[in-house]
Chains A and B, each alone.
Chain A
Amino acid sequence: MIDALLDNIVSMIYIILGGVLISWSVHFVPVGGAPAAMAQATGIGTGTVQLAAGAGLTGLVSAGFMMNVTDNLPLILASGAVGAMIMIAVTMIVGTWVYVYGVGCVPSSAKVKVDPITKYRQDLYVSQGTEGHGLPTVSFVSGVIGGLLGGIGGALVYYALIEVGLKAGLTAGTSSSVTGHELVGIAAMFAIGIFFVNAVIPSYNIGGTIEGFHDPKWKKWPKAVISSFVATILCAVVAVIAISQLGVI
């Protein structure tokens, strides 16, 4: 067991780094929660976990797709990042259409007076009794950055887990039989498990809603990152041992 951990020390560092990146990325995603679903808060109208999972798992899938053709780490990370960014950007643009053309409100932030990117006034457009609504430009940009970080994090975790399995003598994706993808299956499930743990911890940190990097709550990120760091160490140890054992049976 200890040998497995020592042999895979680099992979473990990748996993922990990935977990920390995922945790940090959640702080960038404009999560509005239930209030945003009623256009009473800025952000996308669903919870952190759903958004992080949606973007992160898309990143995982696109990273896995890239792994089919190459084992070049930067390319895999780029593929994961682009996948997650596309997913979160599409979610945000469609959400904006719904807010603007469906609900009929102006995308505006209640946390800042002027949008730091476009310099447009925000406070004039915030409806009374709401915490802003829709997705102003700064939130959109912040969300795409969140997708980038989350996608890299997810891809890094998945790549590292696959590497652990390859070292233990397993093969990934070469067999075409239904039961031939043990490594892919277990690495994906561990990556998803680690992803969910690291998506929920920051969501408790931000109290469920955040507008993006201009939100005052964003400055709380070190707390979540430290927590995720510790939690991911545990998960990484457990995951590396479990996957190494796969080579023994």
Chain B
Amino acid sequence: MSAGGSGGGANAAYPPQTIMAIGAVGGLAGIYLGHFLPPMFSFFGGLGAICAIVWGADAVRRVASYGLGTGVPSIGMIALGMGIVAALFGLSVGGIAGPIVSFVAAAIIGAVIGVLANKVIGMGIPIMEQAMVEIAGAGTLAIIGLSVVIAGEFTYGAVIENVVANGYIALIFIIGGMGILHPFNANLGPDEKQDRTLSVAVEKAAIALIITGFASSLHEGLMAAGLNIAVGLVIWTVAFMKYYGFVKRDAHSVVGTGLLPSAEELQ
């Protein structure tokens, strides 16, 4: 669960259904584990967020390959825009089923925006509706997962007090959005490979876990924060080494250029 989509066979492309299952099931499982286990184990929320971010990045990858007409970041921002609205709504009315209600609300908002984008605006991207549902769902789970890391639970009162009222929600908004929009934005091009893109998603999500780990020290104490940061660092290291491996695999060749020539050498 923790590694999201980064592991496995090097060249095999993961079908969308697999990533979707990892994101939705892994995301919700992580959120609920982080909620029910003691605050010490709030990093499970972060693991859920990693699954969700990998899912979101894969959905962005599929839809943005069609060409959005504008930059890839826009779709990451709309993901988190829909996500934050749906997440807070679900937690406010859902009680213990909060994340699931949020997820369903996000899917509805995403579906409506997807239909509007294709039918009214006329973008003509065949998978737009499905991708918007996926991106909204992934954004919602990422926000709730990272909120669980900071607050230790997802009850509305706790999230409002420990995440929203002190402004950490803005941090979650941007780093969650980065995790979803950056992987494809950084890797796009004719030689884009799914495993390389998704390894960046895991790496970005691990950075999100590390940063929310720092933020969690305010409410959960240094021990829990330290554990969050440690888990994040381990995942980041593994994912970054994997990414570096993929870059070396996909590059024509990797050569050292040496230092810049000095003034004498140039003459």
Question: Which A residues lie at the B interface, using CB under 8 A?
Answer: 1, 33-34, 47-50, 53, 178-182, 185-186, 189-190, 192-197, 199-201, 203-205, 207-209, 223-224, 226-227, 230-231, 234-235, 238-239, 241-242, 245-246, 249
Determine which of B74, B120, B164 lies in contact with A182 in the assembled complex, contact meaning CB atoms within 8 Å.
B164
Chain B 64-81 near chain A by CB (<8 Å), digits 1 or 0? 000011110111011011
CA distance A239 to B91 in the complex (A): 12
The answer to whether B74 touches A203, judged by C-beta atoms less than 8 angstroms apart, is yes
Q: List 25 A-B contacts (CB under 8 A).
A: A34-B71, A179-B166, A182-B164, A186-B160, A189-B164, A192-B81, A193-B81, A194-B81, A195-B81, A197-B81, A197-B113, A200-B74, A201-B117, A204-B70, A204-B117, A207-B69, A209-B70, A224-B121, A239-B88, A241-B89, A242-B88, A242-B89, A242-B91, A242-B93, A249-B156
- B residues with a Cβ closer than 8 A to A are 68-71, 73-75, 77-78, 80-86, 88-89, 91-93, 105, 108-109, 112-113, 116-117, 120-123, 156-157, 160-161, 164-167, 169-170, 173
- Give min CB distance, A2 to chain B, whole Å: 12
Give chain B residues whose Cβ lies under 8 Å from the Cβ of A246: 92, 156, 160
**When the two chains form the complex, which single residue of A33, A181, A209 contacts B165, counting CB atoms closer than 8 Å?**
A181
Q: How far is the CA of A238 from the CA of B89 in the complex (A)?
A: 6
Q: Is the CB of B89 within 8 A of A196?
A: no
Inside 8 A of A180's CB, which chain B residues have their CB?
165
CA distance A179 to B123 in the complex (A): 43
A185–B147 alpha-carbon span in the complex (Å): 14
Task: Evaluate whether A185 and B160 lie within 8 angstroms (CB atoms) in the complex, with A48-B70, A208-B69 already known.
Answer: yes
CB nearest neighbor in B for A199: B77
- On whether the beta carbons of A241 and B81 are closer than 8 Å, the reply is no
Q: Given A186-B88, A186-B164, A235-B85, check contact A204 B173 (CB 8 Å).
A: no
- Report the separation of the CA atoms of residues A205 and B173 in the bound assembly, to the nearest whole angstrom: 24
Q: Kindly provide the distance from the CB of B204 to the nearest chain A CB, expressed in whole angstroms.
A: 19
Provide the residues of chain A in CB contact with B88, threshold 8 Å: 186, 189-190, 239, 242
Collect the chain B residues with CB atoms within 8 Å of residue A205's CB: 121
CA distance A226 to B71 in the complex (A): 23
A203-B74, A205-B121, A208-B68 known, 15 other contacts, Cβ within 8 Å: A34-B71, A180-B165, A182-B165, A185-B165, A193-B85, A196-B78, A196-B81, A197-B82, A200-B75, A201-B116, A204-B123, A207-B70, A230-B112, A234-B108, A249-B156
Decide: A242 near B74, CB < 8 A? Known: A189-B84, A204-B68, A204-B123.
Answer: no
Contacts of B165 in A (CB 8 A): 178-182, 185-186
Closest to A226 in B: B120
CB distance from A47 to the nearest CB of B (A): 4
In this complex, what residue of A is CB-closest to B168? Answer: A185
- Given B89, B108, B121, which contacts A204 in the complex, CB threshold below 8 Å? B121
Measured in the bound complex, the distance between the Cα atoms of B189 and A158 in whole Å is: 39
A141 CA / B80 CA spacing, docked (Å): 31
The verdict on A223 contacting B85 (CB below 8 Å), with A179-B161, A238-B105, A238-B109 known, is no
In the bound complex, CA of A241 to CA of B92 (Å): 8
Least Cβ–Cβ distance between A112 and chain B, in angstroms:
22
**Is B170 in contact with A33, judged by CB distance below 8 angstroms?**
no
- B89 and A47 contact, CB distance less than 8 A: no
Once A47-B71, A190-B88 are accepted as A-B contacts, the answer to whether A235 and B109 lie under 8 Å apart by CB is yes
Contacts of B86 in A (CB 8 A): 238
Tell whether, in the assembled complex, residue A47 and residue B81 are in contact, meaning their CB atoms are under 8 Å apart: no
B119 to A, closest residue via Cβ: A227
Across the interface, name the chain B residue whose C-beta is closest to A187: B164
Cβ-defined partner of B73 (8 Å) among A47, A186, A224, A230: A47
Chain A residue nearest to B167 (CB atoms) is: A185
Instruction: Give Cα A34 to B69, complex, Å.
Output: 11
Nearest chain A CB to B92 CB, angstrom units: 4
For the complex formed, measure the closest distance between the CB of A28 and the CB atoms of chain B, giving whole angstroms. 16
Chain B neighbourhood of A193, CB < 8 A: 80-85
Question: A238–B83 Cα gap in the complex (Å)?
Answer: 12
Do the beta carbons of B77 and A49 come within 8 Å of each other?
yes
**Chain A residues within an 8 Å CB radius of B82:** 193, 197
Report if A185-B81 is in contact (Cβ < 8 Å); known contacts: A204-B123, A238-B105, A241-B92: no
List, in ascending order, chain B residues with CB within 8 A of A33's CB: 70-71
Q: List the 10 shortest-distance A-B pairs measured between CB atoms, nearest first.
A: A208-B70, A196-B81, A245-B92, A207-B69, A200-B78, A227-B116, A238-B89, A242-B92, A193-B84, A185-B164
Pair B81/A234 contact, Cβ less than 8 Å: no
B83 contact set on A, CB distance < 8 A: 193
